[in-house]
Amino acid sequence: MAMLQPLSKESIGSEFRDGLSVQDYQKKPVIEGVQIIALQSFVDDGGALAEIVRVDDNGHLVLIPEFKVRQTTWSQMLPGTIKAFHLHYNQEDVWFVMPYDRLLVGLFDARENSPSYKSTMRFVMGAGRAQILYLPRGVAHGLANVWQNPANMIYFVNQRFDATEPDEQRLPWDILGEDFWDIRKG
């Protein structure tokens, strides 16, 4: 049996060579204070289970001890929905997207004195993974459901919502460009 020989760029048809590229697999920078925490999932022949949060006797999250839960909310996003962008002056969020769903998350650091000021993050939550996302105040955040099925999330906040004085500052959904929310092809 003949040994397989490695190929080179010149081994690829000339009409395809100029289109060749390599995907970037480097770890992406994280906005200062943002945490993506993988949760332990247990899967057996009867289903799956993941503990989303554990709260101590004082109402603080065990995984994020400075975060005291004041309200928990469930949200569903229909296909084609974009909910972006907004930020809080005082509130912090912890998000959980159901592992059987998927949502595109977009973040950017709007805190002028932050070492990661103007940095952006774009990633998928859910998609088979159980994880929580911690969002510090001043980090603009949004979600898009660019797929075909409704998607569900639960989020925890450290401040109760007050409709008479909402701590919610809105920014345009396309402040990072309309294409920010597009599925990247290639």
pLDDT at 116: 97
pLDDT higher than threshold 80 for residue 2: no
- Number of neighbours of residue 64 by Cβ within 10 angstroms: 18
**Can you name the CATH fold of 34-41+52-159?**
Jelly Rolls (2.60.120)
Query: Rg for the chain (alpha carbons), in Å?
Result: 20
pLDDT higher than threshold 90 for residue 172: yes
* Residue 108, CA atoms < 13 Å, CB-side half-sphere: 16
pLDDT higher than threshold 80 for residue 186: no
Q: Reduced to 3 states, what is the DSSP secondary structure of residue 21? A: coil
pLDDT at 86: 96
Domain spans of the chain, in order of start = 34-41+52-159
Q: Tell me which of 57 and 10 has the higher pLDDT.
A: 57
12-38, pLDDT tens digit by residue?
Answer: 888 998 888 888 888 878 999 999 999
Report long-range pairs for 102-105 (Cβ below 8 Å, ≥24 apart).
Answer: 102/126, 102/127, 102/147, 102/151, 103/77, 103/143, 103/144, 103/145, 103/151, 103/153, 104/143, 104/144, 104/145, 104/146, 104/181, 105/133, 105/141, 105/142, 105/143
pLDDT higher than threshold 90 for residue 185: no
63-121, pLDDT tens digit by residue?
Answer: 999 999 999 999 999 999 999 999 999 999 999 999 999 999 999 999 999 999 999 99
pLDDT at 8: 87
Q: Token pair 């309200």 is at which residue?
A: 71
128-162, pLDDT tens digit by residue?
Answer: 999 999 999 999 999 999 999 999 999 999 999 99
